[in-house]
Amino acid sequence: MSSKKKKKEPTEIEEILESSRRDFLKKVGIVGAASVAGGAAIYSGYQFEKAKKHEEIVKVLTEDNRLVEIPRDQMKDYKPDLKVLQKRGRKGIEGKRWVMVIDLSKCRNARKCVGACQAAHHLRPYEYHINTLVMQESANTPEYFMPKPCQHCDNPPCVSVCPVDATFKRQDGIVLIDNERCIGCRFCMAACPYSARMFHWREPVAAGQDQGNEYNVELNVPQKKGTISKCLFSADRLRDGMLPYCVSACPNGVFYFGDENENAVTNGTTKETVNLKELLEQNGGYRLMAELGTKPRVYYLPPKNRIFEFKKGPDTEYKEIT
Amino acid sequence: MAGSVFSSEKYREKLDLISADVLKNVGISRGFIIWMGILFAAFAACIYAYTIQLRTGLGVTGLRDVTSWGMYIANFVFFVATSLVGMLISCVLGLSGATWVKPISRIAEIIAVAFAAVAGLVIISDMGRPDRLPYVFLFGRVQSPILWDVSVVTTYFVLSLLLWLFPMIPDLAVAKGKLQGQPEFLSKAYNLLSFGWIHNEKQYLIIGQGVRILLILIIPTAFAIHTVTSWLFAVTPRAGWDSTIFGPYFISGAFVSGTAAVIIAMYFFRKSYNLDKYLTDSHFDKMGKVFILISILYIYFNINEFLVPGYKLKAADAIHLRELFAGEHAFLFWGVQLLGLIIPVFLMLFRRIRKPLPMLFISIVMLAAAWLKRYIIVVPPQAHPYLPVQNVPVEWVVYKPTLIESLVTLASILLVLIIITLLSKLFPVIPIWELAEEEAKKELKET
């Protein structure tokens, strides 16, 4: 009876023992969990430290000319923001005076220059920074093809008339348009005798695809509705030490491009670099409508000694895309 | 003799007499409400067209890269031109002592204010990015004629508004107690705008001097606004715009369209406000003579503008002139020159034609022609640039104004009518005190 009774009613000692056992188990559980967690943390920390030891350190030259070391995984590609793009875009590339020479005797109207330009600047097939025209001075003189980019005049009528400094002349001779500034008055179009400028009458063709991209004044992309666009001498490519899009795309060696200060121009097709002055002198170089006093930076070589037959292709019909 | 005409009994008498006539039709009437209702309804419809342009872009107009300035710019030039008449009537004729223009001078100022105000607005409809209008002030380059234009048009508008309001101060003081059956805000406005006028001798002296200063200031400003507007074209190297006489050519043309507008306004004010006593047949006769003089001046500049390049036929000029004389725009060009300028001048040489009704018809034709002339000045020179237009859609080659573009243009014309109606119906349209002074002086001299 008593044992039964004992079983049913534990003594005080038993109670104490029982509770301490529960306590003990609880504590063990906590300690166990904690040590597993701690171990994992230590392990991962160890792994991290180990990985760091094998991390490659790279030497980087900073903007202020300091050579510094940073781990490779902390490197980020530099993407200039709008402020930087605008500042350097308006300033231009120091020490350069860009110049283009177009050899009309070689142009077969391949229009590769046009296509490359339109692809780079996100334009419709009939929106031109460069257009190739069929020219004829008089009934007795032959027809010829003439690629016509912006002439990047040294006395640019477009820049003179702009009311808000949206179009401007840079120190390297390039005339650019800032579509963050342009109010769309089109005075520059009225003033340009070369019809070099175009206007975004509607939403630009790549507006959706370009949305959110930082505006680069040297590429004029993203294009903007209600603003002007024009040939930029591929200022973005020049910054990267490359020839303009049209110059590189030409299959017939029509374009030479280079720096007037160096007196050297490079042919975009053959990659041959020649003396600018000699090229102009030996081939009778001239500028379009020099009598207007605009002082273009684009020179033309006359269409003489053409080694191919002048052949006008079938007229392409351009339909407006809305 | 003590005291001037302003303290005479005669002057008071005349003041009462004239103000009774003039104020009879001032204020809100049922006709006014219906007329304004129609104007506003039409204006709202046109504004809807502008919202489409805002959403879609200027592509909804007929403008393209080849002809990038069209109806909007032509309309702007027309508005600036027409506003110039304020200077011609009040300043040139007024200062030269032609007292017969006094009853017309306020009408001329109303035309000047309305057209100058709307000219400033319509130019915004031509902007690709109207949201960037503040850039003109934030980043403005003084080298650009647009900056000159913006500054002189605003200056001219402000001066014209002052020249409308300033001489009206005594009139409002007279009128404020005499408005019958008109809402209170009108008499409150009169009270406010009469600036505590008490018909004091000294006040008359000051207002006389003030008006004189304004009249003198407006002359160079008016010359500037239209000369600068002409330079928007003349500073470019395009054939048809590249002209050294564009300034005077535009100004003489401006007098033509402005005079036409004033004669039309005179006719309708006379009819609907019963002002036969003040806008007499003799006024129409004299305005007809003025019209002949300035039209001949304009014809003279036209001969210079077209004959001289037509004689030399430089390559680009030749293409442009052929288009005007015998090409695509020949019908418009000769129509405007003959029907809108040369034939009316001949007609107006006859006294019988210089009567109100024939003058109204002639003025309407000449005003319409003046609008079309601006179109001829703006559009054709762009159709044939120096380099050929190639590899573009057909719509780009020939400019054809669209419906939306026409509606937006119409909106500006409606707005002018709204402003003219407000200014002429809510305020005395005939200068009361100036006429009273004139008549009192005349009668005092006789006695």
What CATH number should be reported for the domain holding residue B437?
1.20.1630.10
C-beta separation of B58 from B377 below 8 A: no
Higher pLDDT, B189 or B332: B332
ipTM score of the complex? 0.90
Residues of B (270-289) whose Cβ lies below 8 Å from A? none
Which residues are registered as beta bridge partners of A216? A221
Percent of chain B at pLDDT > 90 equals 67
Residue-averaged pLDDT of chain B:
90
Position B24 scores a pLDDT of 82
Tell me if residue A220 falls in helix, strand or coil.
Answer: coil
**pLDDT tens for each residue of B333-384:** 999 999 999 999 999 999 998 999 999 999 999 999 999 999 999 999 999 9
Rounded to 5°, the CA angle B268-B410-B75 comes to 95
Percent of chain B predicted with pLDDT > 70: 99
pLDDT of residue B181: 74
Res. B149 pLDDT band, cuts 50 70 90: very high
* B386/A contact by beta carbon, under 8 A: yes
Nearest residue to B221 (alpha-carbon basis) of B155, B167, B164: B155
Span B438-445, average pLDDT: 81
The tokens describing B269, both together, are 């004010």
Q: What residue numbers bound the domain in which B427 lies?
A: 5-446
By mean pLDDT, which of A75-84, A106-115, A289-298 is the weakest?
Answer: A75-84
Chain A residue with CA closest to B141: the answer is: A163
Element (H, E) at A102: strand A98-103
pLDDT band at B189 (very low <50, low <70, confident <90, very high): confident
CA distance B240 to A298: 26
Average pLDDT over residues B299-307: 95
Inform me whether the C-beta atom of residue B312 falls under 8 Å from chain A C-beta atoms: no
Among A31-45, B150-164, B277-291, the range scoring the smallest mean pLDDT is A31-45
Q: Does a cis peptide bond (omega within 30 degrees of 0) precede residue B167? A: no
Test the A interface: residue of B50, B53, B55, B58 with most A CBs within 10 Å: B58
Q: What pLDDT, on a 0 to 100 scale, did the predictor assign at position A35?
A: 76
Position A37 confidence tier, pLDDT thresholds 50, 70, 90:
confident
Cβ contacts of B335 within 8 Å, gap of 6 or more: B369, B372
pLDDT at B197: 85
> How large is the average pLDDT for residues A255-261?
96
| CA-based nearest residue to B380, from B73, B59, B49 | B73
Q: Computed from CA positions of residues A278, A281, A282, A286, in that sequence, does the dihedral angle turn out positive or negative? A: positive
| pLDDT (0 to 100) of residue B173 | 87
The CATH classification number of A82-301 equals: 3.30.70.20
Lowest mean pLDDT among A106-115, A261-270, B10-19, B212-221: B10-19
Chain B CA closest to residue A138: B315
- Quick one: CA torsion of B419, B421, B427, B428, rounded to 10 degrees? 130
Report residue B1's pLDDT band, with 50, 70 and 90 as the boundaries. very low
**Integer Cα distance of A165 and A222 in angstroms:** 19
Whether B143 and A160 lie within 8 Å, measured CB to CB: yes
Which residues of chain A are within 8 Å of residue B135 when distances are taken between CB atoms? Answer: 164, 181, 183
Structure tokens at A143: 């027809």
Cβ pairs A/B, distance under 8 A: 141
Structural domain count, chain B: 1
Mean pLDDT value across residues A295-315: 89
Does residue B224 sit at the A interface (CB-CB below 8 Å)?
A: no
What is the tens place of the pLDDT at every residue in B226-278? 999 999 999 999 999 999 999 999 999 999 999 999 999 999 999 888 888 88
Omega cis (within 30) before B431: no
